[in-house]
């Protein structure tokens, strides 16, 4: 997610675009300092459990332990701290690990996970991460990025264009690409109002622009803000980690549950039916539903053969 040190840049951009008065700018600047003090810097680097994960749920295991002729599917994860899984306490809770094992079980083939995501990355850093995997292109790439862009000097259009370029480079190599679009930063309680509302509007606008850019480049977009922000808003103690900023194991699990069917679809391996159209912004009533009900609603649409 976003770096707390960059909140001031979001205020500057908001003030430039919206013509904030000096008093309003001072209020938001003070709120950003307050949020930075509460959140603080990351206590540690993200955990890592790269390697081959088996359909049985075991992993990572050495490649030499695979049966002769068994070639794992190569999965690379790119993006920011949410892609890297910052905030969990155990390797099994990492989003990349959950997805690698879920994918292996679904397609019944070992999955080799490589994580290139870096804490603090914006869309400007994606080109370097794409370079890192392009020498030996994987079959599937997952990208989660955008929250840091909200608090950087990048505009929505520029950020979306950079993401689209990264997806286009990968799809041109025959790589299937799935993108989890920018989460709703309005769910982060340590950011006070009205700064939180500014961050929310910006992140939602970026998510919409990202979806357009990703689909135009041949990738698959999963609108994480639309699908997950109600849960983070109504159950923050469960869905955020102890820093109240990055997702907890439960938050990453909810995201993985939504990303996995789309990743299978991108590979032509989803057996649950066609994916539904991306949902519109959740209503207030939907915001009170637990994640299991949202997932059940998606699954019912899948099995009905929705759009």
- Residues classed as catalytic: 81, 243, 246
Helix, strand, coil percent content, the chain, rounded in steps of 5: 55, 10, 35
Q: Are 178 and 143 in contact (CB under 8 A)?
A: yes
Q: How far apart are the first and last CA of the chain?
A: 31
In a 10 Å sphere around its CB, with 0-12 CB exposed, 13-18 middle and 19+ buried, how is residue 131 labelled?
A: exposed
Answer positive or negative: Cα dihedral of 36, 196, 232, 211. Answer: negative
Q: Which residues contact 186 (CB under 8 A, 6 or more apart)?
A: 196, 197, 199, 200, 201, 203, 204, 229, 233
For 209-266, the DSSP string reads HHHHHHHHTT-EEE-HHHHHHHHHHH-HHHHB-TTSSSB-HHHHHHHHHHHHHHHHHH
E strand intervals along the chain: 51-53, 73-79, 111-115, 140-144, 176-180, 220-222
Place of tokens 């997932």: 295
Place of tokens 């990738």: 219
Distance CA 192, CA 50 (A): 37
**Residue 172: count of CB within 10 angstroms of its CB:** 12
Residue 52, strand partner residues: 61, 112
Place of tokens 């699908």: 227
Q: Are 254 and 88 in contact (CB under 8 A)?
A: no
């Amino acid at each position: 997610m976003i770096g707390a040190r960059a909140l001031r840049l979001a205020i500057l951009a908001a003030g430039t675009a919206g013509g904030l008065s000096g008093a309003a700018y001072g209020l938001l600047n003070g709120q950003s300092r307050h949020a930075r003090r509460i959140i603080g810097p990351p206590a540690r680097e993200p955990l890592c459990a790269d390697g081959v994960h088996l359909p049985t749920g075991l992993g990572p295991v050495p490649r030499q332990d695979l049966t002769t002729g068994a070639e794992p599917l190569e999965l690379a994860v790119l993006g920011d701290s949410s892609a890297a899984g910052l905030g969990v306490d155990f390797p099994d809770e990492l989003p990349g690990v959950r997805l690698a094992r879920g994918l292996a079980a679904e397609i019944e083939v070992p999955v080799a996970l490589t994580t290139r995501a870096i804490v603090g990355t914006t869309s400007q850093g994606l080109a370097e991460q794409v370079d890192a995997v392009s020498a030996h292109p994987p079959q599937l790439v997952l990208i989660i990025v955008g929250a840091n862009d909200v608090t950087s000097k990048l505009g929505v259009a520029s950020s979306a264009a950079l993401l689209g370029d990264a997806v286009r480079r990968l799809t041109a190599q025959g790589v299937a690409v799935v993108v989890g679009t920018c989460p709703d930063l309005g769910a982060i309680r340590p950011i006070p109002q009205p700064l939180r509302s500014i961050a929310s509007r910006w992140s939602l606008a970026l998510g919409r622009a990202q979806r357009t850019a990703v689909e135009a480049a041949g990738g698959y977009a999963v609108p994480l803000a639309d699908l997950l922000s109600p849960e983070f808003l109504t159950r923050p103690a469960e869905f955020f980690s102890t820093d109240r900023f990055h997702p907890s194991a439960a938050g990453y699990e909810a995201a993985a549950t939504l990303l996995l069917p789309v990743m299978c679809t991108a590979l032509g391996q989803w057996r649950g039916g066609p994916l539904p159209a991306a949902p519109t912004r959740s209503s207030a009533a939907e915001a009170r539903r637990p994640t299991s009900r949202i997932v059940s609603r998606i699954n019912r649409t899948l099995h009905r053969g929705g759009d």
